[in-house]
Amino acid sequence: MDDFERYVRSGLSLAEVDVTDVDLAIIRAARAAYGPALEALERADLAGVWPEPDLDPGRPPPSARRARQ
């Protein structure tokens, strides 16, 4: 059992969700597809970017000038 399998099995076990070998194979494939982008997002410098308060996706943001604080 490698670190990733341990992570998947123990993480889902805490949530009381069973993991089959088929699940694990598919999760490995998903990680191969999305893992690099997730890691890039985790590394991204977003400290100066604030989330949008009272987000309304149907309207433009209140001010484009406040993209970075």
Residues that bind other proteins (CB under 8 A): 7-8, 11-12, 15, 17-19, 22-27, 29-31, 33-34, 37-38, 40-42, 44, 46, 49-52, 55-61, 63-64, 66-68
* Least distance to other proteins, CB of residue 69, Å: 11
Which CB atom, from 1 or from 60, has the smaller least distance to other proteins? 60
H helices of 1-69, in order, are 3-14, 21-43
* Least distance to other proteins, CB of residue 2, Å: 15
* Least distance to other proteins, CB of residue 56, Å: 8
9, exposed or middle or buried, with CB in 10 Å at 0-12, 13-18, 19+? Answer: middle
Distance, in Å, from the CA atom of 68 to the CA atom of 47, rounded to the nearest integer, reads 9
- Residues 12, 20 contacting (CB under 8 angstroms): no
